[in-house]
Amino acid sequence: MSRPLYVTRPLLPDLASVQSMLAEIWKTGILTNGGPMHEKLEREMEAYLSVPNAMLFNNGTIALLVALKMMDLPPGSEVITTPLTFAATAHAIAWNGLVPVFADVDPDTLTIDPASIEKAVTRKTSAILAVHVYGTICDVIGIQAVADRYDLRVIYDAAHVFGATMHGRSIGSFGDASVFSFHATKLFNTLEGGLITTPRQEDRQVIYNLRNFGIKSEEEVVSIGINGKMNEVQAAIGLLNIPLVEEERRRRSILREKYFSIFRSIPGITLPIKQKGVINSEQYFHIVIDPAAFGKSRDEIYDNLKKRGIFARKYFHPICTDFEPYKDFPIFSSLERPWAEIVKSQVLCLPFHSGVEDEDILDIAEEFGLSVAEVAQH
């Protein structure tokens, strides 16, 4: 039994291998600005994610900022996104001088609902920033159809879906760009880090410049860039973590099955949907607790687990439209009442990583009213 038990645990390469990577960096004296580790990791990312262009960043938020900046959207235009996401998604829109407009989530997938997007479209809409959430992927076909109808750009916040595929196609290949986060809490980490993938070769130079202050050459600054560069130590950690990802994903998928067998039989608990033809990234495992049907609220469960040293997380509660900067922004919905407003107080992410042991699962199951004997039967 491992306590405290957190919702995730960072993938950590063997310390001796880190030391030899550091020795290599010290030998060259190249610490950042596209050093050898950085270049190697970018090529490995393109191969691993099967995308033509992958560009590294110092974190996912700066990568989101740059992905939007790259689109050169009209100032003050509207970008439709989901309220059920991390604050960085909405902030990246606002920080670019654009207006976030929130559309509801689909009750089955909890990803942005194309019909709700359509309700939010105005003459000022310029793009959609959709989020693949927990590990569930968006309705990429439905979103693209809306985008095509209104001539909108599509960017995916893919922070939760590193390595996911749909019918064999890389998740990073949909839309005009996808943005990944390599923060310590994510399945694959570079301590902090991020990545933009794009299908278009022409984007490379634009992103390259924006990532480095807009500098094109020693005497030319061609765009309003930022410092988004990943350093060599981050890249080294990435190179060492890549070979560890598949094993971590495999162990999480086994844990997913264990959670499924336990929770399947409990009334009032909704499990994540299994998407046909999709290989799940295994970022998070979320459940939705309907207090009327289950008999206890999400917050009660959350508090009780905490008392046992088990730190589940209420991702994403509060939602973006509850935050000060976006307070009173409406949520456009194809339903009578936005599902995001309901599910935000019902969703709970359970500890989900290779450090979760069977005894931990028993403890969690007990909190949901199952005895050891009952769990053993599943």
Residue ranges in contact with ligand PLP by CB under 6 A: 59-61, 85-86, 88-89, 131, 157, 159-160, 181, 183, 192, 194
**Min CB(181)–ligand PLP separation in Å:** 3
CA nearest to 278, candidates 198, 164, 178, 190: 164
Q: Tell me whether residue 347 or residue 361 sits nearer to ligand PLP (CB atom).
A: 347
d(CA 71, CA 75): 11
d(CA 128, CA 33): 31
Q: Tell me whether residue 5 or residue 88 sits nearer to ligand PLP (CB atom).
A: 88
At 150, which amino acid appears? Answer: Y
Q: Tell me whether residue 161 or residue 375 sits nearer to ligand PLP (CB atom).
A: 161
**Min CB(62)–ligand PLP separation in Å:** 7
Q: Tell me whether residue 48 or residue 188 sits nearer to ligand PLP (CB atom).
A: 188
Q: Tell me whether residue 85 or residue 333 sits nearer to ligand PLP (CB atom).
A: 85
d(CA 290, CA 117): 26
Q: Tell me whether residue 48 or residue 86 sits nearer to ligand PLP (CB atom).
A: 86
d(CA 345, CA 294): 14
Contact present, 130 and 68 (Cβ < 8 Å): no
**Min CB(287)–ligand PLP separation in Å:** 18
Residue 150 class from Cβ within 10 Å (0-12 exposed, 13-18 middle, 19+ buried)?
middle
**Min CB(20)–ligand PLP separation in Å:** 26
Q: Tell me whether residue 234 or residue 367 sits nearer to ligand PLP (CB atom).
A: 234
**Min CB(203)–ligand PLP separation in Å:** 20
Residue 219 class from Cβ within 10 Å (0-12 exposed, 13-18 middle, 19+ buried)?
exposed
CA nearest to 348, candidates 300, 307, 309, 308: 300
d(CA 70, CA 50): 22
Can you tell me which residue has the tokens 């700066």? 62
Per the structure block, which two tokens stand in for 149? 């109808």
Cβ of 308: how many Cβ atoms within 10 Å?
16
CA nearest to 55, candidates 158, 163, 178: 178
Q: Tell me whether residue 78 or residue 157 sits nearer to ligand PLP (CB atom).
A: 157
**Min CB(325)–ligand PLP separation in Å:** 16
Contact present, 155 and 130 (Cβ < 8 Å): yes
CB closest to ligand PLP, residue no: 60
**Min CB(190)–ligand PLP separation in Å:** 9
**Min CB(164)–ligand PLP separation in Å:** 14
